[in-house]
Structure 1
Amino acid sequence: MSVTNLKLKDQSAPRPAAPVIAFTRSVKQATGRPLLARFAAGAANVAPLIVTLSLILVAWQIVCSAPDSSLPAPTRVLEESWELIAHPFYIGQGVDQGLFWHIAASLQRVAIGYALAALVGIALGALVGQSQLAMRGLDPIFQVLRTVPPLAWLPLSLAAFQDGTPSAIFVIFITAIWPIIINTAVGIRNIPQDYQNVAKVLRLNAFEYFGKIMLPAAAPYIFTGLRIGIGLSWLAIVAAEMLIGGVGIGFFIWDAWNSSLISDIIVALIYVGIVGFFLDRLIALVGRVVTRGTATA
């Protein structure tokens, strides 16, 4: 067979389609070095956390293993509170519930109070940020009220609502609303003048300006206030539930203290910290999605 015939035969042979080539390359990339590189990067990020936690646990074990120690060591916490850890969905009588149900009750109160604070706080922040008259009339009042400790509002709310649950929700609301108002107002005041000029050129009405210009431009500031607010809400509900009683992680901690169950308190505090961390991460994730990455993580 001649060289010319060989060339013609090669040219006439079918070649893989472009999607097949792309799929093959993606498989090679997914199973090759990039995957290993990503795994190594993830391990490098997690390793410092694991080392730090290990050092904390070792130090805790050493310090609290003495016979006269007033706090239990990690091994003793596991021994004394294993039933609490192993059965978070336990359902008993009254407040005798597993930790899941206590946390769920607290999260329900936080969700209601925080949602109200977000709605009212964004609206008031937009008003204060856009109107100089409103800022002069309301901002001094806000600055005074935000310095009142959250639990100082509880007796007043109990007198007003005559019930523990709405009182706790009010404490969450009054605690979370101030950073939302302040950060929203700052975001509104920092809207670039070019955006306002565009709104004038397009002749947007008040509702269109609020939805298309004001909220998108101030969204990074708003979500900063929302992140601060969710952290304060979780702090406030734990403190408020210690006083109002009923099912809730705050009352569980106080009841464990009255029963001298220090190990149960430590387990509950770990749960509180983990839930607070995930609440903060949730608001941060929503902020990144809504603002397309402009809100800080």
Structure 2
Amino acid sequence: MVSAVFHSPLEAAAPVATTAKPATMAQALAAKASNKPAPTPPQAAARKAPLIDLTELAQRVVPPVLGLLLLIGVWYLVSVSTGSSIPSPLETGKQAVQIFSDPFYRNGPNDQGVGWNVLMSLQRVAMGFGLAAVVGIPLGFMIGRFGFLSRMFNPLISLLRPVSPLAWLPIGLLVFKGANPAAIWTIFICSIWPMVINTAVGVQRVPQDYLNVARVLKLSEWSVMTKILFPAVLPYMLTGVRLSVGTAWLVIVAAEMLTGG
């Protein structure tokens, strides 16, 4: 009778062990998680990163500096080997400091500082390039838009575009009877072709579907030009402008050398 009332010690301890096991696993997981390092916040990682990458900075700065030093070294060797015909880099630097120390002096029409000469060159480039843009971009739109104008102007462009600036300058002197308008004319006629050609090519490469939609919507020619063609042609047009600016700077050097500008 007594043995029927009391349970075995193993049977009494078994439920306790099974109920305590989940608590032991939870404690183990908590202890393992507490041993992991806390994640580094982005601000702390940014503070630890170096402000300047010295390797990347050296790769950007060292090659150009070496190229400049090589140029100066070759220049010095050539000046030494030729005697006094070519000034050395040091002598050139001294003269440059003297010239730019007072760039805006004026001692008459033929004796002016380098600042006035630079402003005059900028004025000529701006006028010639501005006239070329005003004429060339609309002309390129018209040539690209209408096939009749394209067939009419293509032979003229192919004939006049390769002409050297040195050939246009005497024509300008003959027509305008002055060095300044002749230089502006030469810049204009030489820098107009990249804008005309690139704008016309851009108009011709506009997808035909765009124009078909405009035809269905019965848009006017002005709306087609401003709302369809202009946004599509803008990358080509900017490429022509960039090329024309470079051409204008090349032409002004030759024009001023020949006219004494």
TM range (shorter): 0.7 to 0.9
Please list, as runs of the form range in 1=range in 2, the aligned pairs for 1:94-113 lying within 5 A after superposition. Answer: 94-113=109-128
Any residues of structure 2 matched to 1:30-179 within 5 Å, and which?
Answer: 33=49, 35-37=51-53, 41=56, 44-66=59-81, 68=83, 70-179=85-194
Q: Partner of 1:188 in structure 2?
A: 203
Task: Calculate the TM-score normalised by the size of structure 2.
Answer: 0.75
2:61 & 2:219 partners in 1: Cα distance?
A: 49
More displaced stretch, 102-111 vs 159-168: 159-168
2:231 equivalent among 216, 220, 225: 216
**Letter of the 1:197 counterpart:** N
Alignment: residue pair count: 221
Higher relative contact order (CA 8 A, sep 6+): 1
What is the rounded CA distance, in whole Å, between the counterparts of 2:83 and 2:202 in structure 1?
54
User: Structure 1 stretch 85-94 or stretch 119-128: which is displaced more?
Assistant: 85-94
| Residues in 2 aligned to 1:95 and 1:32: alpha-carbon distance in whole angstroms | 62
Greater CA drift, 89-98 or 187-196: 89-98
TM-score by length of 1: 0.67
How far residue 146 of structure 1 moved from its aligned partner, in angstroms, is: 0.9
The answer for unaligned runs of 5 or more in structure 1 is 1-24, 246-250, 252-297
Which whole-Å CA distance do the structure 2 matches of 1:146 and 1:139 have between them? Answer: 10
Q: How does 1:190-269 map to 2 (within 5 A)?
A: 190-245=205-260, 251=261
Deviations 1:37-88 (A, max 9, x none): 4x76455323321221111111211221236352112012123443113333
Do the aligned partners of residues 28 and 132 (structure 1) sit closer, same or farther apart at CA in structure 2, a change above 3 Å counting?
same
Distance 2:216 2:50 in 1: 50
> 1:223 offset after TM fit, Å?
1.4
Unaligned 5+ segments in structure 2 are: 1-41
Cα distance between partner residues in 2 of 1:28 and 1:99: 53
Give per-residue Cα distances to partners, 1:183-228, cap 9 Å, x unaligned.
1111111112232233234432111211121121111111111111
Mapping of 1:1-16 within 5 angstroms?
A: none
Percent identical among aligned pairs is 43
CA RMSD of aligned residues (A): 2.5
Question: What is the CA–CA distance in structure 2 between the aligned matches of 1:188 and 1:210, rounded to whole Å?
Answer: 10
Residues 213-254 of structure 1, C-alpha deviations (whole Å, 9 max, x = no match): 112111111111111111111111121122333xxxxx4xxx
Higher gyration radius (CA): 2
- Aligned-partner Cα distance in 1 for 2:228–2:79: 57
Secondary structure of the residue aligned to 1:72 is: coil
1: distance between equivalents of 2:61 and 2:221? Answer: 48
> Aligned-pair distance for 1:135?
1.1
| Distance change >3 Å, CA 203–CA 161, structure 1 → 2 | same
